[in-house]
Homo-oligomer: A and B are copies of this chain.
């Protein structure tokens, strides 16, 4: 809403910093909280830390979020919505083989989500789902259902074009989902421990996954 004002024509004086900050508070808190929750988990993050990171006092945080749990829910809520930009559109207009489309989907998924703090949200949701059942439901509705729907369409496209085999689509989507979710979880757990030697390179990982996904491990019979 203040967007209108902010983009007003060459307005000579920028709005009072105070005012701008005031408006921005909840967002800054959510950003700080996202960052810390992702880094340390829900339980291990102290609300005071979040407030400090956002540059406000502990009391102010509770002005906007009556509870640590509420803060958490808001963080996830806020960031889950962002998880689905205009992907659907993008895919409707995709031109090319379904194999390429699948690869494109996974690479895009990684670039726009896995490679951003949003992947931390996924990890957070997976880690805390049982402690926040309504988040799980919300996530299911807002992310999983549409996400799976999208992937289903891609697979269905391939099947109907004869490029893919006949597939049990309900199951096959997990064929795409599993490696991506795994990669995000890995990145934010084992992969985040410096001492761990077995580091996964996301690009190569995705490349291999798509490759095997399309052609399987088995050697071609005639070749």
Which secondary structure characterizes the binding site on chain A? Answer: helix
Please determine whether A163 and B127 come into contact, CB atoms closer than 8 angstroms: no
- Within 8 Å by CB of A208, from B144, B174, B214, B215, lies B174
Chain A stretch 19-68: residues in CB contact (< 8 A) with chain B: 39-44
B136 contacts A189, C-beta separation under 8 Å: yes
28 residue pairs from A and B, CB less than 8 Å apart: A40-B130, A41-B128, A41-B131, A99-B218, A102-B217, A127-B127, A130-B189, A130-B193, A137-B195, A140-B193, A140-B197, A144-B190, A148-B198, A155-B217, A163-B218, A164-B218, A165-B215, A165-B220, A168-B208, A172-B208, A175-B212, A181-B186, A182-B182, A185-B185, A214-B217, A215-B218, A216-B216, A222-B222
Cβ distance A59 to chain B, nearest Cβ, rounded Å: 13
